[in-house]
Amino acid sequence: MKELKKRWKIESNFQLAIIFIGFAITGSTSAWLSKPVCFWLGIMKEDFGLWYTPVRLLIIFPIYQVLLVLVGFLLGQFKFFWAFEQKMLKSMGLGFLFRT
């Protein structure tokens, strides 16, 4: 845990616990939202077959990104999650979304 705290520049175990809770809430919420969002968009397993899961993941990806920052804000860790978000998207080649 010390290495993770050092890498993430986190001071306390409490802050680390809050961040883990933030990731858990975000992941659970985005998974929970993916089914109704796909239904609303008309994306059904019967129509997409084997492509249903990859399409569902592509759709939920932007929802996860927004939720991550929102949950981080609600938990008082906006600065950490915003930096994490930027770093993750830059590593995926989407750095153009952020002009710093």
- What domain count does the chain have? 1
Mean pLDDT for all residues in the chain: 89
Token reading at 49: 């077959």
The domain in which residue 53 lies consists of 2-97
pTM above 0.85, yes or no: no
Residue among 10, 5, 7 at smallest CA distance from 79: 10
Longest dimension (CA), the chain: 49
Residue 89: its pLDDT value, please?
84
